[in-house]
Amino acid sequence: MRENWVRRKLLKGEVSIGSWVTLEGTLGAEVMANAGFDWLVIDMEHGPMSLSQAQGSIAAIRTTETIPLVRVCWNETDLIQQTLDIGAFGLVIPMVSTRAEAEKAVKDSRYPPLGERSRGGMRSRLAFKTDAGTYGRQADNEILILTQIETREAVANAAEILSLDGIDGLFVGPNDLASSIGQWPLVWDNQVPELAEAIARIPVLARDYHKISGIMVPNAAIARRCIALGYTFIALTNDAALLEQAARRELAAVTEG
């Protein structure tokens, strides 16, 4: 059975760098995977991608050593179970602000006795290069489940969420968290104290519970700052943003050089 080496790396406390896939079609996913990221999150929340498009991107990514993850568009049973059934190696689940919401995510993403995920489908076990029985026994040890911290309420309840079996860690959505706190747009170098304290607090709590802390960052400099804070799951911007930045940079080099 193919192992989720990224999950193992993260649970050992090591830093893992990935990015977001937002472009439709599989070419973007293939390019990003071959660039050497540890993992890629296919974005079904803000991408947005259909289930069939996500399925194609997962298949493209898993031709490499890169681990394919998906951000579902909401904490809903059908969205979570179908996404796992098409072969995702893990999920980022948005807008989870309470222990009860996190418990629902566990129920839908983990097999009994920990959860109530339904058994079935072929692509999930094909993605892990195994048979249905082995996948059914081992999936909970391979699939990475991160819930997003995007509100004041979520920050307040972070310890309760981290305490749950089945939740591997927390992922900070800095833009929505900044909006919830009242600082929009987010300015990384001029954060209000409440936002700065919240961002600093999550990796400390995650370490206390031997769990993972992740965050989305716009560039390498902010990535290094967040790693220094203790974050280990670093989402280095996304495919569309990287394409735009490269296009603008090269055009400026010609027209302004």
User: All domains of the chain, ordered by start, with CATH?
Assistant: 5-255 (3.20.20.60)
Structure tokens belonging to residue 192: 């209000």
φ, ψ of residue 97 to 5 degrees: the values are -115, -10
CA-based nearest residue to 105, from 81, 125, 70: 81
Between CA 188 and CA 193 the distance in angstroms is 12
The residue length of the chain stands at 257
Q: Could you tell me if 124 and 85 are in contact, meaning their C-beta atoms sit under 8 angstroms apart? A: yes
CA-based nearest residue to 1, from 166, 139, 145: 139
Between CA 142 and CA 46 the distance in angstroms is 26
CA-based nearest residue to 237, from 225, 219, 214: 219
What are the 10-residue block averages of pLDDT along the chain, 257 residues in total?
98 98 96 98 94 97 98 97 98 98 98 97 96 98 98 98 98 98 94 97 98 98 98 98 97 91
Global pTM?
Answer: 0.97
Can you tell me which residue has the tokens 């973007």? 28
CA-based nearest residue to 22, from 236, 216, 246, 239: 239
Positions annotated as catalytic residues are 46
pLDDT at residue 257, as a whole number: 66
Please report, for residues 120, 182, 190, the alpha-carbon distance to residue 234 in angstroms, rounded to integers and kept in the order given: 32, 24, 21
Q: Torsion angle, CA of 19/72/62/243, rounded to 10 degrees?
A: -30
Between CA 57 and CA 42 the distance in angstroms is 7
Q: Could you tell me if 105 and 147 are in contact, meaning their C-beta atoms sit under 8 angstroms apart? A: yes
pLDDT at residue 48, as a whole number: 80
